[in-house]
């Protein structure tokens, strides 16, 4: 059975010992959510809290990274449970919104955000190509 919980510094160190390249994503005033199967971390979400970069007095959680490591565990609701946990955390901290950036070609991620009622805003470049989508959820 998969357990979703707030991650600890110890959990973060466990992730970094197994996946050292993740260190570049763990920055800012961060919140770690982990998915565990027994003692094994099978997925995580890292979001950091920041002021919204517009002239408003509000903060947001920006999801830097969300991952379910094993392909056979994907599309089974683990990502949704982690997203719901960060929504719960953001509500408790009274932030205005949650946002993330998604590569255009990442269809499973787009489906995850739609399933969780996030808006999707493609970022169109001057040449007409769509580089990324920004997703958002107002609390």
Q: What range does the domain containing 119 cover?
A: 2-138
For residue 23, pLDDT over 90 is answered with yes
CATH number of the domain enclosing 86? 3.40.630.30
CA 16/CA 39 separation, integer angstroms: 16
For residue range 40-62, what is the model confidence (pLDDT) as tens digits?
A: 999 999 999 999 988 888 999 99
CA 69/CA 46 separation, integer angstroms: 14
Mean pLDDT of the region 11-21: 96
pLDDT tier at 10, thresholds 50, 70, 90: very high
Q: How many domains does the chain have?
A: 1
Predicted local confidence at residue 88, as pLDDT: 98
Predicted local confidence at residue 22, as pLDDT: 94
For residue 79, pLDDT over 90 is answered with yes
Residue 49: beta bridge partners? 29, 61
Structural tokens at position 96: 């205005």
Q: How high does pLDDT run on average in the chain?
A: 95
């Amino acid at each position: 059975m998969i357990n979703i919980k707030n991650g600890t510094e110890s959990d973060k160190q466990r992730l970094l010992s197994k996946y050292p390249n993740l260190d570049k994503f763990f920055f800012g005033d961060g919140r770690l959510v982990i998915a565990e199967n027994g003692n094994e971390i099978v997925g995580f979400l890292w979001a950091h809290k920041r002021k919204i970069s517009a002239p408003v007095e509000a903060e947001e959680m920006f999801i830097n990274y969300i991952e379910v490591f094993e392909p056979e565990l994907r599309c089974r609701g683990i990502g949704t449970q982690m997203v719901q946990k960060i929504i719960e955390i953001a509500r408790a901290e009274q932030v205005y919104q949650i946002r993330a950036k998604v590569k255009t070609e990442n269809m499973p991620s787009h489906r995850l955000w739609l399933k969780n009622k996030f808006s999707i805003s493609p970022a169109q470049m001057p040449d007409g190509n769509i580089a990324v989508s920004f997703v958002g959820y107002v609390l």
